[in-house]
Structure 1
Amino acid sequence: METQAIAPENIIEKWIWYALILTYPFYALGAVYIIAPVLGWILLGYWAYNLWLPAPMRARSIQVEPHPVVILWVVAMLVMEVALIMGHLDFYLGLPAMIKSTIGWAKGWALLAIFILIGATLPIRAELVYRACCVICLHTLLLIPLFVIAAYTPIPGTIYISPLKVIGGPGPEFFEFQLYGINPESLGPRWRFFTPWAPAAGLLANFYLVFALQEKNIRWRWIGIIGSVAMVLMCQSRAGLVAMLFVSPAVFFISRLNSPALWLTGGVGISAVAVVATQLMAFAESSIAEFKAARAGSSRVRSALARIAIQRWRDEAPVWGHGVVERGPHLVEYMPIGSHHSWYGLLFVKGAVGFLALLIPMLVTLLLLLMQAQRCCVSRAGLACMLILIMFSFGENLEILAYLFWPALVLIGIAFRNDTIAQSILRQRSSATHH
């Protein structure tokens, strides 16, 4: 069976393809944090250029008019920038701080809308994204022996910090070349691969598993599955492991809501579960307790960060937020207030306006993909990606990691593009029938 039957068919796909399969070389250069924003804004400019051109001169493969939900994402992320500006004005943070924060917005929240728009309008095949991410999994499997050997030798975990950090970013960890890290709780090795911290690797591993399950080539499919499972186990992410066990089975069932067999089986299953409901509740409570106890220190810090963020948002800046991230007290080990949680972070930095600017497009996207998933495989993969994003939004700041999970955003956009094309075909058929 061919192992490389998929190759880029146009310049857009080439950029996407090489941006993904060269992830580890970019990581060695400290350029992973830079590649995604540059790629996203260039491709956005290409789409905008075609939008500006007269219709006869536009590239035929481009869907100039995006899906309404894609427009909703664009508007919502622009609202994020408005909230950012208002927060700076409310607290008199000054023009330099506003410019710096706007650059951060362009490398963070803006990428959510940009990559969804790119997937929804530019000629990018879902199969190319699947295969490219399976290639990343292959590279990961090939490098795992080096990562493991380094952890049990005198080789330091962090080899160097790329000079590209002068460009600016959330922290030096985004430009580090690290072979392994140390779990502060167990003092054992913990791997983060090419991400800034280990739980982020768990987030990516879940996306890669979704892509691998959609891969049609059996050899590449198993490479992707094994690579993604290895990543989530080695990064020791609790949320990553839970998501990996939950998301794919959940999508399998909720994408078959039109199946009478599913409803019949579900009815029997619910009846059976009711019999042992008390035991299941006890098991769930003990599992949650063990989940938190696995890293008690981390759970304590996260809880304290949440309390501080909520209190200060409610008392000081309920509408527009504080405009910038602030360093927390010694109680939370000086971690930024609102970190480790997208929703608390949004309330603190961008207030209720920013909170709703993410909540509304996320819920609308989830509902639409749920409906599309009943008939479309790409939409099922997009639905899985959206569920993963929602789950991790309660433990990570999504905007900081958008530069890593942008392939999932592109796939969500592709699902919208397919839906737009399908609706266009239906309208044409309906028009032909009436004539």
Structure 2
Amino acid sequence: MSAAADPRPANPAETAVRRTITLTWGLYLFGALYLVGPVLGWLLGGLALVSLYLGPAMRADLRAAPIPPVVWAWMAGMAGMLVALWIGHLDWGLGAKQTIKSSVGWAKGWALLALFPLIGAVLPIRREVIARAQCVVGLHTLILLPLLVAAPYAGLPSQIFVSPLKAVGGPGPEYFTVYLYTLDPASWTARWQFFAPWSPFAGLLGVTAVLFALEERDRRWMLAGLLAGAAMILLSKSRMSLVALVVCTLGPRLLGLIVRSWAWGAAAAVAAGFAFVGDRVLDAGAAAVHGFKSARADSTRVRETLQRIAEQRWRSESVWFGHGTVQPGPHIVEYMPIGSHHTWFGLLFVKGLAGLVCLLVPLVWTAWLAALDAARGPRGRLPLGLVLMMVILTFGENIEIEAYLLWPALMMLGIHARELREDARTIAPETPSRP
């Protein structure tokens, strides 16, 4: 790969970000990824606060930018999550030990959804540094791909080892386990999860890799990122990631058409044509949805049952602040925890309506800003694609326990908020003042 136009780190914050991302596979082989994400978030978050406090006294290459309003919303929302957690624990008498444990979990999960946007918005970290680092990870993935693909056919074990770092604590041993591949219990065929704790999440990380690769200017690095992302999506065999790939790549690029007059004419022609073939299109869509759900019917059944139980118990037992923590599910859902496998139903069950609002408001605000910018030009495509990926993720996973791998996307949202604020500050002086 060429080193030409290499966006080398220009300050310690960019160095820490780039090295952490490029060491993804190495950290995974030590079972350390789950720990490194939160540690990086709190260290760089502390650096951002120090930079804000010192102001002009801070070294020139680390001076802080003002916190954008949308990042304040993320910080307020995630602080609200902690308050809702405490209230839920008090309501259900879960005790001081469980409250402390859950608060530590908040610091390693929900808090990162505020810390990394804050870091991206305040510290001078460039988007091209993150994009190049993601493509480097893509190259490493392609190098390891032959071993990963050949492993199940060569009779190699699925699981290599469980890192002793699991003693630190986490959601489960899978976060500290190194896998070559896994076996789908429904079909007993191989699936690959790369450096993620399970395959569906690996597929969405593949979508993230594609989105960042499309931002890369060097064509060879871009190709490495695109190929690696595509491999992660296909080999994870995740239905959700296939949908996300289309939505998150094409959606932001098609959005710009709405500001062009000819697009409205084309839309009118499509609408007129739909009057003649609409029934067949709807039937085909219904058949596609049915086939999508039937592809892994057992998984769909478990997820839908979990959601139904979580909603019913939320409505009948604790509407405002939830149950404080997930609870073991019955045999019908294979003992999966109630409040898992869906961010929104999980929030309702664990933190109630208060918790849902704490995530919904900053997420919608961020999506709105990214959509407006994507409609104006290409700068908004990457952040909008990442927001759409996160939204899709919330309907199949618990986003907070996966923030330790989503942090480059979260940081990119903060960088975009900083870019928008800089635009506003540039335009403001040109606005004539009133007499």
* 168-177 or 212-221, which deviates more: 212-221
Could you say what secondary structure the match of 1:186 adopts?
coil
Taking every aligned residue pair, what percent have the same amino acid on both sides? Answer: 43
Q: CA 1:37/1:207 → structure 2, altered by over 3 Å: closer, same or farther?
A: same
| Per-residue deviation, 1:26 | 0.1
Contact 2:200–2:241 (Cα < 8 Å) also in 1: yes
Deviation, structure 1 residue 59: 4.1
CA–CA distance in 1 between the matches of 2:215 and 2:261? 24
Query: Which amino acid in structure 1 is aligned with residue 77 of structure 2?
Result: A
**Correspondence for 1:97:** 98
Q: Structure 1 stretch 247-256 or stretch 379-388: which is displaced more?
A: 247-256
Contact conserved, 1:3 with 1:220, CA < 8 A, in 2? Answer: no
Structure-2 residue corresponding to 1:273:
274
State the one-letter code of the partner of 1:40: G
Opposite residue 424 of structure 1, the aligned amino acid is: R
| Cross-structure match for 1:167 | 168
Deviation at 1:376, TM superposition (A): 4.5
Answer yes or no: is the 8 Å Cα contact 1:379–1:412 preserved in 2.
no
User: What's 1:322 paired with?
Assistant: 323
Q: Which amino acid letter does the alignment assign opposite residue 162 of structure 1? A: S
Tell me, what secondary structure is at the counterpart of 1:151? Answer: coil
String of CA shifts for 1:151-183, please: whole Å, max 9, x gaps: 112221001000000010000000001000001
Matched residue SS, 1:8: coil
- Determine helix, strand or coil for the equivalent of 2:111: helix
Read off the aligned partner of 1:304 and give its amino acid letter.
Answer: T
Q: Secondary structure at the match of 2:258?
A: coil
- Are 1:264 and 2:236 counterparts? no
| Residue type of the alignment partner of 2:225 | G
Partner of 1:406: 407
Q: Aligned AA for 2:289?
A: I
Which AA in structure 2 matches 1:220?
W
Provide the residue aligned with 2:13 in structure 1. Answer: 12
Range with greater deviation from structure 2 (169-178 or 244-253)? 244-253
Q: Tell me the secondary structure at the aligned position of residue 161 of structure 2.
A: strand
Contact preservation (8 Å) 1:255, 1:380: no
State the distance in 2 between where 1:369 and 1:70 align.
13
Greater mean alpha carbon deviation, residues 166-175 or residues 361-370: 361-370
Shift of 1:237: 0.4
Alignment of 1:319-358 (within 5 A): 319-358=320-359
> TM-score by structure 1 length?
0.96
Output one character per residue of 1:8-66: Cα deviation in whole Å (capped at 9) or x when no partner.
1111001000110100000000001011100010011011112222x331344533421
Distance 2:324 2:308 in 1: 19
Distance in 1, matches of 2:82 and 2:181, equals: 36
Partner Cα distance (2:382, 2:63) in 1: 22
C-alpha deviation, 1:148, in angstroms: 1.4
Structure 2, unpaired ranges of 5+: none
1:330 is displaced (CA, Å) by 0.8
Offset at residue 271 of structure 1 (A): 2.4
Query: TM-score by structure 2 length?
Result: 0.96
Partner residue, 1:396: 397
Please, which runs of 5 or more residues in structure 1 have no aligned partner? none
**In structure 2, what is the equivalent of residue 313 of structure 1?**
314
Q: Which region of structure 1 is more displaced relative to structure 2, 374-383 or 305-314?
A: 374-383
| 2:114 pairs with 1:121 | no
Show the 5 A alignment for 1:105-254: 105-254=106-255
1-side partners of 2:374 and 2:74: how far apart?
Answer: 20
> How many Å separate the matches in 2 of 1:30 and 1:317?
37
Tell me if structure 2 keeps the 8 A contact 1:47–1:64: no
Question: Contact 2:344 / 2:395 at 8 angstroms: preserved in 1?
Answer: yes
Q: What is the correspondence of 1:43-82 to structure 2 with a 5 Å cutoff?
A: 43-53=44-54, 55-60=55-60, 61-82=62-83
User: SS where residue 214 of structure 1 aligns?
Assistant: coil
* Counterpart code for 2:57: M
Higher mean C-alpha deviation, range 43-52 or range 168-177: 43-52
> Partners in 1 of 2:245 and 2:311 — Cα distance?
30
Q: Which deviates the most, 144-153 or 83-92?
A: 144-153
Give the paired residue count.
433
Q: Deviations over 1:298-345 (max 9, x none)?
A: 011001101110111111111100001111111100111021100000
Displacement of 1:267 after TM fit? 2.3
1:256 CA drift (Å): 3.6
Question: Residue 198 of structure 1 contacts residue 235 of structure 1 at CA under 8 Å; is this kept in 2?
Answer: yes
Shift of 1:3: 4.2
Separation in structure 1 between the aligned mates of residue 38 and residue 377 of structure 2, nearest angstrom: 29
CA RMSD, Structure 1 to Structure 2 (Å):
1.6
Structure 1 residue 379 displacement after superposition: 2.1
Check 1:139–1:94 CA distance in 2 against 1; reply closer, same or farther (3 A cut). same
CA distance in 2, matches of 1:362, 1:170: 24
User: How far apart in 1 are the matches of 2:59 and 2:356?
Assistant: 37
Q: 3-state SS of the aligned residue for 1:310?
A: helix
User: How far apart, CA to CA, are the structure 2 residues paired with 1:275 and 1:365?
Assistant: 38
In 1: Cα distance, 2:65 partner to 2:130 partner = 21
